[in-house]
Amino acid sequence: MTNREIADLFEKVADMLAIRGDSIHRILAYRRAAESIRALGRDVQVVAQEGGLTDIPGIGQTLADKIEEMLATGRLQFYEKLSQDVPPSLVTLLRVEGLGPKRVKAVYETLNITTLAQLTEAARAGDLRKLPGMGEKSEAKLLVAIEALARHGDDRTPLGDAWPIAQAILAELAALPGVSQVAVGGSLRRMRETIGDIDLLVAAEDAPPIMAHFCGMERVETVLGQGPTKSSVVLLNGLQVDLRVLPAGRWGTLLSYFTGSKEHNVRLRELALKQGLSLNEHAFRPVGDSPAGTPDEILCPTEEAVYQTLGLPYILPTLREDRGEIEAALAGRLPDVVRSSDIVADLHMHTTWSDGKLSVLEMAQAAQARGRQYIVITDHSASLGIANGLSVERLRQQAAEVRAADAALGPDFRVFHGTEMEIRADGTLDYPDEVLAELDFVIASLHTSLSQPRAQVTARALAAIDNPHVDMLAHPTGRLLPDRPGADLDMDAVLFAASRTGTILEINAHPRRLDLRDSHVRRAVDLGVWLAINCDAHDEADFEMLHYGVATAQRGWATAANVVNTWPLARFLAYLRRHGPAAGSAPLRGGLL
């Protein structure tokens, strides 16, 4: 069995245990093991031969024995025994939004449903509403969720899963003799929220040794093709990787062509044709009859040269979707989009007071070490029990610790006290106004009851935005990539309300969230809504996720002027004293709602 098959089976076992109602520790152990094996850059078979299985994070002796069994026999007895209790096909039902393990168990035990098709049929026939805790409404909601799953449930990979793997392979290729340039291409370079496959680009005069190394990497499961300029492989974790190699003199056109998007490239080729040139990954070439003395190729060693030849300024990869960037470039009006280096603060993070891994002071030091100038500590509020949310009493105790950390780090780094407060299912807020008034900064969040009908869940978001103490709405839709779509918010209503009240909307940089998503960022920018790019860090390394959020902001054409955590401290302090008007010109009127 391969890494991917073993990881998939462990994940399936975890889901089946959850449906059976097993202990949470056991379930988490299988999930962790699956994740660990997916992230492993080595063939698990080789690791097993070296006796190193228990060195893999999350793999103890019990799980190591199970891996050995799978490698030796291609089977797992534990899974087969579990299948007698819990039909494995039930696992697919968990992907339906709103269907947790308990409900899956109930539809199986009372209606003997084991497949998505049977579930759909039962919902259409009105059989689900008879189940305890279900009704006509929740049945209709389930049908909508099943349809959504059919639409979104393709097998694209979240950006954050593909990125580190691509970087690791690039580092390996960059070290090979004769390699002068390496880069990611495709949707990964454009930083789309999910990617179909990884595209890698290398500049070298002599391609075959690079192709040989690439196809022979330990993390490769199958070689789909190996050629002089292109090779494709499938990794042990199931991801496909395409590699293209051309000489350094053609680097610019190579990079441009395989960065895409296809739609952007079509526009570039149209512009080239107007000058009597064709354009592909190798070069520009004159089309048809050309005057004597015209060179038969124009080589571009850089992407800048490609755009220059077309009479365009350089266009960042995150903008290359043919969503108006060509017109803007031609008109000299490309947005000067926000960069990671513009970000000086983080307004959303957690500590051991709720579900974070570090103390207030440790988080502050971690942020300071990464160049941030001020931060807000925003632990969860009481009603998010699973995250150890803070009662009013604990929140007040925490204030002292935050002030102490602020004092300890001196005047050049500030630590503010805030909260990430639940918006409850009924639309009320988790802390009373007089408590919110004691805080420096208030985030409101939707974490629960995300599947409420559009009007109801939107009203909750609007209630929070309209509260004068609420400064920011975090990860507005609550979606989780790749297939939990989150709340069905009336995004225009939310954006108008945020614009009118000066409430900040977050671009959560966690690659499972990227929420607001790029298209909503674009709309927010048009409406003059304040944005903040935050890491929602629960641990030190989480601050490294910033670039995913910045890329999402860029994909929505946000400039530093739209993003509040580019502000110097003095401006942020002024905002805290009283919300300024929205980022655009005149604040919008409530009547627009």
- Please provide the DSSP assignment of 295-349 as one string: -S-B--SSHHHHHHHTT-----GGG-SSSSHHHHHHTT----B--GGG--EE--B
Q: Which does 265 bind (CB under 5 to 8 A by kind): Zn ion, ligand DGT, Ca ion, none?
A: ligand DGT
| Contact criterion met (CB below 8 Å) for 99 and 93 | yes
> Closer CB to ligand DGT, residue 265 or residue 566?
265
Question: Is the Cα torsion angle 41, 42, 43, 48 positive or negative in sign?
Answer: negative
Residue ranges in 316-472 assigned as alpha helix (H):
325-330, 360-369, 392-408, 433-436, 454-466
| Spatial separation of the C-alpha atoms in residues 131 and 134, rounded to whole Å | 5
CB 270 → ligand DGT: shortest distance, Å? 11
CB 187 → Ca ion: shortest distance, Å? 5
> Closer CB to Zn ion, residue 192 or residue 350?
350
Q: Which does 543 bind (CB under 5 to 8 A by kind): ligand DGT, Zn ion, Ca ion, none?
A: none
Q: Does 139 bind Zn ion (CB under 5 A)?
A: no
Q: Torsion over CA of 296, 302, 305 and 310, rounded to 10 degrees?
A: 80
Q: Which does 260 bind (CB under 5 to 8 A by kind): Ca ion, Zn ion, ligand DGT, none?
A: ligand DGT
CB 343 → Zn ion: shortest distance, Å? 17
CB 89 → Zn ion: shortest distance, Å? 35
Q: Which does 101 bind (CB under 5 to 8 A by kind): ligand DGT, Zn ion, Ca ion, none?
A: none
| Contact criterion met (CB below 8 Å) for 483 and 95 | yes
CA distances from 160 to 10, 40, 510 (A): 21, 15, 8
Q: Which does 420 bind (CB under 5 to 8 A by kind): Ca ion, Zn ion, ligand DGT, none?
A: Zn ion
Q: Which residue's beta carbon is nearest to the bound Zn ion?
A: 536
DSSP state, residue 234? E
Q: Which does 262 bind (CB under 5 to 8 A by kind): ligand DGT, Zn ion, Ca ion, none?
A: ligand DGT
| Spatial separation of the C-alpha atoms in residues 245 and 180, rounded to whole Å | 11
| Spatial separation of the C-alpha atoms in residues 349 and 543, rounded to whole Å | 9
Q: At what angle do helices 491-501 and 454-466 cross, to 10 degrees?
A: 10
The greatest distance separating any two alpha carbons of the chain, rounded to the nearest whole angstrom, comes to 84
CB 61 → ligand DGT: shortest distance, Å? 40
> Closer CB to Ca ion, residue 258 or residue 496?
258
Q: Which residue's beta carbon is nearest to the bound ligand DGT?
A: 260
> From the CB of residue 295, how many other CB atoms can be counted at a distance below 10 Å?
11
> Closer CB to Zn ion, residue 285 or residue 370?
370
Q: Which does 536 bind (CB under 5 to 8 A by kind): ligand DGT, Ca ion, Zn ion, none?
A: Zn ion
CB 266 → ligand DGT: shortest distance, Å? 6
> Closer CB to Zn ion, residue 162 or residue 444?
444
CB 387 → Ca ion: shortest distance, Å? 35
CB 262 → ligand DGT: shortest distance, Å? 5
List residues binding ligand DGT (CB under 6 A): 186-187, 192, 195-197, 199, 257-258, 260-262, 265
> Closer CB to Zn ion, residue 66 or residue 513?
513
> Closer CB to Zn ion, residue 76 or residue 443?
443
> Closer CB to Ca ion, residue 148 or residue 223?
223
| Contact criterion met (CB below 8 Å) for 498 and 467 | no
| Spatial separation of the C-alpha atoms in residues 77 and 69, rounded to whole Å | 9
CB 7 → ligand DGT: shortest distance, Å? 22
Three-state SS sequence of 161-212: HHHHHHHHHHHHHHCCCCEEEEEEEHHHHCCCCEECCEEEEEEECCCHHHHH
> Closer CB to Zn ion, residue 114 or residue 378?
378
Q: Which does 488 bind (CB under 5 to 8 A by kind): Zn ion, ligand DGT, Ca ion, none?
A: none
Give the HSE-up count for residue 204: Cα atoms under 13 Å, Cβ half-sphere. 23
CB 536 → Zn ion: shortest distance, Å? 4
CB 450 → Zn ion: shortest distance, Å? 15
> Closer CB to ligand DGT, residue 261 or residue 448?
261
**Which of these, 5, 162, 148, 157, lies nearest to 70 by C-alpha position?**
5
> Closer CB to Ca ion, residue 197 or residue 539?
197
| Spatial separation of the C-alpha atoms in residues 549 and 551, rounded to whole Å | 5
> Closer CB to Ca ion, residue 194 or residue 566?
194
> Closer CB to ligand DGT, residue 267 or residue 350?
267
Q: Out of 202, 536, 556, 572, point to the residue binding Zn ion (CB under 5 A).
A: 536
Q: Which does 379 bind (CB under 5 to 8 A by kind): Ca ion, Zn ion, ligand DGT, none?
A: none
Q: Which residue's beta carbon is nearest to the bound Ca ion?
A: 186
Kindly identify the residues of this chain, within the stretch 408-447, that bind Zn ion according to CB under 5 A: 420
Segment interacting with Zn ion (CB under 5 A) among 13-21, 258-266, 314-322, 532-540: 532-540
Three-state SS sequence of 503-572: CEEEEECCCCCCECCHHHHHHHHHCCCCEEEECCECCHHHHHHHHHHHHHHHHCCCEHHHEHHHCCHHHH
CB 186 → ligand DGT: shortest distance, Å? 3
Helix (H, G, I), strand (E, B) or coil at 278: strand
Q: Which does 261 bind (CB under 5 to 8 A by kind): Zn ion, ligand DGT, Ca ion, none?
A: ligand DGT
List residues binding Ca ion (CB under 5 A): 186-187, 197, 199, 242
Report the side by side order of strands in the sheet with 414-422.
345-346, 374-380, 414-422, 441-445, 472-473, 504-508, 531-534
Q: Which does 308 bind (CB under 5 to 8 A by kind): ligand DGT, Zn ion, Ca ion, none?
A: none
Q: At what angle do helices 518-526 and 491-501 cross, to 10 degrees?
A: 40
Kindly identify the residues of this chain, within the stretch 193-232, that bind Zn ion according to CB under 5 A: none
**Which of these, 484, 478, 542, 532, lies nearest to 510 by C-alpha position?**
542
Map tokens 């409406």 to a residue.
527
CB 208 → ligand DGT: shortest distance, Å? 22
Q: How many positions of this chain bind Zn ion (CB under 5 A)?
A: 2
Summarize as ranges the residues that interact with Zn ion (CB under 5 A). 420, 536
